[in-house]
Amino acid sequence: MTTNEIIQGIGLIGIGGLLKSIIDFFIDNRKRRTETQHEFKEKRYKAILLLLYALVYYEKDQDQVKKHRPDIKSKDDLINEIRAEWTNMILYASDSVITTMKVFLHEPNVSNFSKTLLTMRKDLYGLRTNLGFKDLKI
């Protein structure tokens, strides 16, 4: 082995290490960003589901709604809050969640609530399910 070959070998190892470090940086950065986005989406979906539930069962649970969200004084306030969430959702939710949520807003009932819940569940976790809206009705 000549000196030239040794220097080239050391250079290749150095370049390889540098390339590996750069690739690892980009992979870790993407992973961190994806995890952050997923956590944000999960928090928003949980909050939205509570609002949807409150709307479906508003007559029965309006005292609880007002207790936990004093800014929501009427059913119209609750609907406006859900519409604002739907508008924000356009930035991060899947197409199917946006469309099922829109259907819910036009017709807020147990069936559409369950469909929205199942769509959010699938968007978050990619779960395949045989559950239907009747299975989620209490």
CA distance 98 to 86: 7
| 85, 36, 43, 79 alpha-carbon torsion, rounded to 10° | 0
Give DSSP secondary structure letters for 2-30. -HHHHHHHHHHHHHHHHHHHHHHHHHHHH
Residues 67, 124 contacting (CB under 8 angstroms): no
Whole-number pLDDT of residue 36: 83
pLDDT block averages, 10 residues each, the chain of length 138: 68 65 75 82 93 92 84 91 94 94 94 91 81 66
Query: With contact defined as beta carbons under 8 Å apart, do 52 and 82 qualify?
Result: yes
As given in the structure block, the two tokens for residue 111 are 């069936």
Please answer whether residues 93 and 123 qualify as being in contact, where contact means their C-beta atoms are separated by less than 8 angstroms: yes
Alpha helices in the chain (DSSP H): 3-56, 58-68, 75-89, 95-106, 110-125, 133-136
Q: What is residue 9's predicted lDDT score, i.e. its pLDDT? A: 63
pTM across the whole model: 0.74
